[in-house]
Structure 1
Amino acid sequence: MAITTTVIGAYPKIGDELPLQALRRALHERDRGGIDDAALDAEFDTGTERAVREMDEAGVDVLNHGCIRWDDLFSSFVRAWRNVSREALERWFDNNTYFRVPVVSGALEVRAPATVREYEVARRTTKRRVKGALCGPFTFARLSEDRHYRDRSALALAVATALRAEVDALGAAGCDLVDIEEPALARWPEDLRSGAVRRVYDVLAQGSRVGIALQLSMFPADAAIEHVAQLPVAQIGVDVRSRPTRVLERISLERQTLVLGVVDARNTKLESPDEIARLVETAARRVDISRLWLAPTTSLEYLPHDIARAKLRVLAEGARTALAAGGAR
């Protein structure tokens, strides 16, 4: 038996090494008209392959595609849907990063799959399991400017309907698990008291062979965990590292896998394998080891490239240490 390790969200696109500057140069050249979309797409594919190989080499068990094409959590989906555009820059929660606010001007319609190409690139690059990555409907609804539905729950349901088409497209490409990043549900857990949450996740999950992994990143999930445990999702991810939390005292999962965020993706300080093992020991009192996965607390893109790679190596070593120490008994 082993403890499964995984990643969440975006991997660093740019680094100090010369090869890691290629994507930045390509984006600049595309803006100048020096290369066409096909050349930029090829560079994105190369960046995706690099990210996947690095995650693989670090020993991570379940990978994603690194979200190399993404400008922010919403950008790929805004480009793939009708009647929504990217407008003003806003700060991403309490991070020193920014996103462009989605502005919804009409009923959302899917033009084309947003993430299937990068999933397929990742899958052909590794023999390990690869999962998908999607934005969360409630996070999209909370952080967008809605000029059409004028109701947060209605917008979240429309987003979920569009995302379900993406889930189905990923499933057809061979994907069996997708992350749904919902930091807004951890930040505003009052949204979970609405019946709309169940309806939204029914749209995403019902009748699908693709498992849904609900990732409550960025904030403590203490007030959210009891509510999300009732949703039709296969996995629930919580941050147990970056901020004070008592979420492990509140968790009672009968069927879902618990994904523990055990390495801080917003702090350059490296954790030790023993620190990770202690968190596993605590969690194993509440959830059986067969339903425990380990991950970073959120996207690794907030870290320098070399630190992100080191964090993944520590993550893999921490999983081995936890098992050897008997913390999973």
Structure 2
Amino acid sequence: MNTTVVGAYPKISDEHQELRRALHKADRGELDDAGLAVAFDEATEWAIGELADVGIDVINDGQIRWDDLLAPFAKAWRNCERGPLERFYDNNTYFRQPIIKGPIETDGQTLVRDFTFADGKLRGRAHLKAAVCGPLTFATLTAEDDHYKDLETRTLAIADALAKELAGLGAAGAKIVDVEEPALAAHPELIDLERAALARLAKGGVTVALYPYFFPIDKIIEKLDVPPVGILGVDARSRETSPKAIERLGAWKGTVSLGVIDARNTRIETPRETGELVDAALKQLRDERRLILSTTTGLEYLPHDVATKKLNALVDAARAAKGVPA
């Protein structure tokens, strides 16, 4: 049974402070853009090394360069910019809301360089996937829109832009791209709009792993079985109602990435806890090949030392599911 992670990895640790020092130097004008880029590359290599060495099967690049989930796209897309700070859902973190000045345009290369760099440094130690912000999340968190007339038009335009990003990543070698879509979990009433947006992502030509995290999705699982979604992320840990989603997995025909490790809680899961969730999921899926074990969201919400313990708990859960001693 394979393992994967979702979202961003902690950018620093007690022993690894180089990126923090580089950012401080850049703020003081003591480090130019080229020097800062090197620091980001080194931090990325450190992050993917940790993820691979602990035994995670499918990793991302740690999203070390991302200021927040929306930032890479708000920075790179033409007629978009970053605006006011806002709290990111119910987390103690903040992001900058996008501002849309005109029609969104992209060459589809926003993340290609970073993906290629990470893939080269990984050297086959794990499989590398890519990730993008979900169209509904970008659209609903936009602060100002001077161009698109309503949420639907804006969401679909963003989906078209993301389809180009997926195509670019696919051409660079990405087989799977995570679409991180917390807005869908927060607003399940927008499921029809999400389905329309996902249909446009099919133009990207890659397998989409849809992660609607932070809130329960048990009431909409059966409506998400639409191309190009081949993998559905299901949080089974972080809220009291989250395990209810497992009961609905029989309606899902693809692969499930089951969030058995709570990435927003410092408590380390026990093998018994993760094992019960795995057993419950397999009763619905009836095929262990359709089950991947994952974190519920990005480990960036935890201190680095806790994050590494969470990774070990995730790997142990997968080994236990295979009948391999931890």
Q: State the TM bucket, normalised to the shorter chain.
A: over 0.9
Q: Distance in 1 between the 2:199 and 2:301 partners?
A: 32
Report the 3-state secondary structure (helix = DSSP H, G, I; strand = E; otherwise coil) of the residue aligned with 2:90: coil
Match of residue 257, structure 1, among 239, 255, 258: 255
Q: Distance in 1 between the 2:66 and 2:228 partners?
A: 27
**Which whole-Å deviations, capped at 9, do the CAs of 1:143-198 have from their partners, x for residues lacking one?**
11223213111111111111111111111111100000001101100000x3x333
Shift of 1:229: 2.3
Contact 1:80/1:112 (8 A) holds in 2? no
Contact 2:195/2:224 (8 A) holds in 1? no
Q: Superposition pairs for residues 1-329 of structure 1, below 5 Å?
A: 3-17=1-15, 20-110=16-106, 113-126=109-122, 127=124, 128-145=126-143, 146-192=145-191, 194=192, 196-206=193-203, 208=205, 210-244=206-240, 245=242, 246-253=244-251, 255-287=253-285, 288-324=287-323
Shift of 1:103: 0.9
The amino acid that maps onto 1:203 is R
Q: Distance in 1 between the 2:67 and 2:107 partners?
A: 19
Indicate how the Cα distance of structure 1 residues 154 and 266 shifts in structure 2: closer, same or farther if over 3 A, else same: same
Mean Cα deviation higher: 102-111 or 49-58: 102-111
Contact 1:273/1:319 (8 A) holds in 2? no
The amino acid that maps onto 2:184 is L
Mean Cα deviation higher: 294-303 or 266-275: 266-275
Unpaired runs of 5+ residues, structure 2, are none
Shift of 1:32: 2.2
Contact 2:43/2:64 (8 A) holds in 1? yes
Contact 1:130/1:175 (8 A) holds in 2? yes
Indicate how the Cα distance of structure 1 residues 277 and 226 shifts in structure 2: closer, same or farther if over 3 A, else same: same
Give the TM-score taking structure 1 as reference length.
0.93
Report the 3-state secondary structure (helix = DSSP H, G, I; strand = E; otherwise coil) of the residue aligned with 2:250: coil
Contact 1:133/1:180 (8 A) holds in 2? yes
The amino acid that maps onto 2:59 is L
Q: What RMSD in Å do the two structures reach over aligned CA positions?
A: 1.4
The amino acid that maps onto 2:43 is G
Report the 3-state secondary structure (helix = DSSP H, G, I; strand = E; otherwise coil) of the residue aligned with 2:99: strand
Mean Cα deviation higher: 102-111 or 57-66: 102-111
Mean Cα deviation higher: 114-123 or 81-90: 114-123
**Which whole-Å deviations, capped at 9, do the CAs of 1:116-151 have from their partners, x for residues lacking one?**
122112212221110001000001111112232131
Shift of 1:254: 5.2
Q: Distance in 2 between the 1:207 and 1:85 partners?
A: 24
Contact 1:273/1:315 (8 A) holds in 2? no
Report the 3-state secondary structure (helix = DSSP H, G, I; strand = E; otherwise coil) of the residue aligned with 1:234: strand
The amino acid that maps onto 1:296 is T
Q: Distance in 2 between the 1:273 and 1:45 partners?
A: 35
The amino acid that maps onto 1:189 is P
Q: Distance in 1 between the 2:224 and 2:39 partners?
A: 38
Contact 1:89/1:98 (8 A) holds in 2? yes
Contact 1:81/1:112 (8 A) holds in 2? no
Q: Distance in 1 between the 2:139 and 2:252 partners?
A: 29
Give the TM-score taking structure 2 as reference length.
0.94
Q: Distance in 1 between the 2:226 and 2:274 partners?
A: 27
**Which whole-Å deviations, capped at 9, do the CAs of 1:286-325 have from their partners, x for residues lacking one?**
1121100010000000000111111111101111112219
The amino acid that maps onto 1:239 is D
Q: Distance in 2 between the 1:104 and 1:307 partners?
A: 38
Indicate how the Cα distance of structure 1 residues 47 and 168 shifts in structure 2: closer, same or farther if over 3 A, else same: same
**Which whole-Å deviations, capped at 9, do the CAs of 1:72-118 have from their partners, x for residues lacking one?**
00001111101111111110100100000111111101156221122
Indicate how the Cα distance of structure 1 residues 231 and 219 shifts in structure 2: closer, same or farther if over 3 A, else same: farther
The amino acid that maps onto 2:194 is V
Shift of 1:218: 0.8
Report the 3-state secondary structure (helix = DSSP H, G, I; strand = E; otherwise coil) of the residue aligned with 1:283: helix
**Which whole-Å deviations, capped at 9, do the CAs of 1:225-251 have from their partners, x for residues lacking one?**
121124531100010001022111122
